[in-house]
Structure formats: structure tokens, C-alpha cells
Amino acid sequence: SSSNYETGKIIYAWALGAGNFETGPDAGFVVGSRAGIEAPYLVLQSHFLNAVSNETAAEVAEVEMHATSKFPEKVISMSLFSHNQFSLPPQEERVEVKAKCCMKGAGSADLLAYRVHGHQYARDISLAVNNESIVSGDAQLPHFFTKDAAMHKLRQGSDWAATCAYNTEASNTTVTVGSGHNDEMCNMYLMLSSHVPFNSFCIGYYDGDGFENDKFPDCMIPEVVDVEGRLRVKNVLEMPELGQVGGLHLGYQGNPNWLLIFHRSGREMLQIDNPEPISEDVLMVWDTLANRSVTTFGRGLFNLPHGLTVDRDNNIWLTDVDSQLAYKLDPSGKLHLTVGMSNERGHDRKHLCRPTEVAVANNGDFFVSDGYCNERVVRYDARGGVVAELGLPDANVVHSLVLDDCSNTLYVADREKSHVRLLDADSGQEHPYIDLSQFGYVYSLTKDEYGNIYALTWQRDVPVRKTYLVQFQARAALYFQQYGSFQLMPIELPGIEFPHDFAVSYNFQEHALDIYVGETGPGPHGKVTSFSFAL
């Protein structure tokens, strides 16, 4: 807690009958006074039915915790779903109350354990993600945490809903919600495991739709910042077999230290298309902690690599600006599907024309930015069927895109116009664009673990070229469909001459942003530079 339990973060709760609870190897809660944690106090609450009585005189409440100074590989955090604005009609066999929120984030979190909390009339309390049932608990049993044996992966950018079911047949009057024992409650605690914390509250309203109040670490770049005192180069990766870097993804196969690199292996982009696949591996997995290559793959599939995306199921999505295709590989690297017509540029629904990147929705639909010689985003269903063409009139190189799932908004890089254009992912309706002309051309867009959006820009037509990372800080809440202006927070990245793609991750242990930039040059060569920016 930062001061007291009202403003703190829940760590654990238990009741009569609870046994030992093991978080698992190299996993635990992180507490302390450091920025990014902000929990210098541990606060214990004890709840008794009767504070002073003969029955409770001998009762005690205690917990034994095991502490270490070693930072855990898996960070445990808590997400609470609660509804406190409802009443229940009497003499009903089943009444349901729901707290539902779209949970922000770019990936997924593992469900380690859960706890349900209701009172006299509560029966079962359950969790669903995008209407898929995950776990449920009996609210009449003692309120302690139950391990999730399946260790479900909960997709972020999805609707998470806790449903509390009640039986009021024994009541002759309306049952009200409240904090007392004779009142009713609707609470579900989710103990989540990831490499960063996801503490949050989802508070349900009368209709069930709620508002998420996240307590994530503050990853916002400060408005007044001494970059020299905060930014440092961690590593520069250059090797003979590394070609121009088309795409980067950090967190490959769920390992936060594995960087997937999509490169051109000695080939360069020309005005005409190369019709022959590259015979060498063009995908490399680089362990950023051990500073070594883990594996390579992808030979014989790609003519000129460009964009790279890895979805929440670890499928690999790629684009090729010479073969005119977008590809889906399964997590093992096996080709699953392609869209577009091989080695044919075109402007109709069957063709793509130098496609640049893919964004994937939680329902399996995917979006392809198309591209160098079309002015659109093409939406496909999970099988590769065209759903819609989302037009971008007068665009000049549609070079990158990301999807904000909770607001259902596509952020699209209109590279040569230095704009980021915002589209409704369903209707294609366009909202006011973000003007990044003061920072140069917009080459790439990405998200961190918490769904914060960044742009990589390049001032290339000046005597001294400059590269910037720009973080978008919304002044208006996009989640209420108020498309307002953004605070643009830039960081100049020194030593970057030919930027093309990047990845950004929150480093919880150091309370910093880890930034990886891939370059397409000089010549057929590429490199990846990693930075740390202290928050």
C-alpha cells in the first residue's frame, strides 16, 4: 500500500480452512517503496463476524509470508471485479449480477488462482473472457484462493466478466448491496502471473458494463525530461548474416527476453520485385539476456521481408513487399495461410500491392496495411476471406498499423505524410489524425504490455538525420469514443541512421522502457540497437 488499504494493491486474502498457498517457482508479489512499485507498507485486515464475543475470543488471524530480495521471473498481481450498485428482488430462484470490463493490454496473463466473495444469498461466481467460461466458485464455501489447475491464459484487449448468481427465495424483502455481513456482495479476485504486474479494479454499474481502474506502473514518459540522464544504449547487434531488418517482436514464445527478428539476408528493396525466395533463414530468435542466437528459420518462403506481428496465440504474421503476400505461420514456424496473389501486384480484393504489416483481433480477424501502392487497410476473417476494404484516401505509403482492441480503433502510419490515421476497425470511419510532422516520417507503430502506443519516426531529409520514439498520451478517453487530442512525448534515439521497425517493453525490475530499433542499412546490412530509458 502507498498509504493505507483504500489506495493500495491487494496481495492475498484467505479464510477459515485455507491451507498453504505456493505461488510456484521464481514467482511472487513485489513490494517496496521504489517508483513503479509504490508499496512501502503491508496492511493486514482481519474480519470477524462478531468483534467481541465468547465465540471469537480465542480466534486469531495470521499469515506467514516468505520474502526474498531476488526479483522474481514471474510477477504476481491482482485484478478485482466488483459490483456494488445493485439490489436483488425477493423470492427469486436465480438472479445474476455482472461486472464486465475490457481489460487493457497487448498480450495475455496467466490465471494463477481466483477467489469469490459473496454473502448469504450468493451461490456461484464465475469468470468469462469474451463469453467463454473460464472458472467459477461456490460463494457459500470459505473465501480462500483456489488454484486454477488449467492455468488459463487470459487474453487482454478482451471483455472480462465476473457474474454473481443469487438465490433470494428465502427473503421476503429486497436484498441490498453493502459492506456489512447482512448485506450482499459481488466480488471476484483474479491472481495473475506475468513478467509485469497487472493490478486493476473493474467496477460494475447497473447494466453490468463497468469501468476499469488500472493500477499499472506509470510508464508515461515525463513531460520535462533530461534524456541524457535517462537514456543509455544497452547493446548493438550486428553480424554478417543479419540483413536489413524488416520487423521486430519482443516476447517471442512468451519469453520476455526473446527478440524475433525478420530480416532480408543480404537483399535490398528495389523498384521492381524480386520473384525468387531468399534461400537463407530470414527469421532469427535472439536471446537479449544471454546475448546469443537461439534459432533461425524461414528459408525459401520470402522474397523481401517487411512487417512482423506475433499474436496472443504466438502465431507469426509477416508481409513480403516483393511476393505481394501476407503470411501466417503457426508457433512452430510452419506456414498456415497466405492472402494476396503470389508475385502479382493488384488493387482489387484478391490482390495486395506491397503490403507492409498485419494487426490481429481477438476474434481471429486480421488487418493488412496495403501498402506502398494501395491506399487502404484490408480486413480478413480468420480463414483469409476478405471482410472489408477500409479506404485511406490520399495516403502516401501505408507503412504500419496497430489495433487498440478495447476502443476498436486502428492506428495506421501514413508514412510520407507524417500522419497516424485513426479508423474504426468495423466501419472504417476515420477520426482526426495525429500529426507527427515535427518528428519526421512515420515508419512504425507498436504497443507495450499495457497497450500504450508508440511511433517510430525519422527525419531523413535534413543534413543531420534524427530518429524519435514518440509516445501517445491521450488527453481524452478513447474508451468512451471521445477522439480527442494527444500529448506527444518524444525521445530522440541517437546513432540510428536507417530506422524501420521497433519494439517497446516495460522493464519492471528497472522501472524503465526497453526499446529495440531495427535498421534497413547501410546497404544490404542491418542492425538492432537496444536502449534503456529510465522512467
Domains and CATH numbers, the chain: 5-214 (2.60.120.230), 227-534 (2.120.10.30)
Radius of gyration of the chain (CA): 25
Q: Note whether 73 and 195 are within 8 A (CB).
A: yes
Reported as a pLDDT band with limits 50, 70 and 90, residue 485 is confident
What is the per-residue pLDDT for 206? Answer: 66
The HSE-up count of residue 134 (CA atoms within 13 Å, CB side) is 26
Average of per-residue pLDDT values in the chain: 92
> pLDDT at residue 18 above 90?
no
DSSP code per residue over 318-357: EEETTTTEEEEE-TTS-EEEEES-TT-B-SSSS-BSSEEE
Give tens-digit pLDDT for 417-432: 999 999 999 999 999 9
- Whether the pLDDT of residue 154 is over 90: the answer is yes
pLDDT band for position 85 (50/70/90)? confident
Verify cis geometry, omega within 30 degrees of 0, for the bond prior to 522: yes
**Predicted local distance difference test score (pLDDT) of residue 5:** 41
Q: Is it true that the peptide bond before 428 is cis, omega within 30 degrees of 0?
A: no
At residue 496, the pLDDT reads 97
The C-alpha cell that represents 117 in the structure block:
466473495
pLDDT tens readout for residues 328-365: 999 999 999 999 999 999 999 999 999 999 999 999 99
Reduce the DSSP state of residue 228 to 3 states and report it: helix
The pLDDT value recorded for residue 478 is 43
Mean pLDDT of 270-296: 97
417: helix, coil or strand? helix
Going from the C-alpha of 431 to that of each of 392, 395, 420, 427, the distances in angstroms are 11, 15, 10, 11
Beta-carbon contacts of 132 under 8 Å, excluding residues fewer than 6 positions away, are none
Look at 3 and 175; give whichever has higher pLDDT: 175
Assign residue 362 a region: left if phi > 0, alpha if psi is -120 to 50, beta otherwise? alpha
Q: Which amino acid makes up residue 343?
A: N
Paired sense of beta strands 132-138 and 175-176, if any: unpaired
Q: Which is nearest to 251 in space by CA: 452, 103, 447, 501?
A: 447
Q: What pLDDT shows up at residue 273?
A: 96
Phi, psi of 437 (to 5 degrees): -60, -25
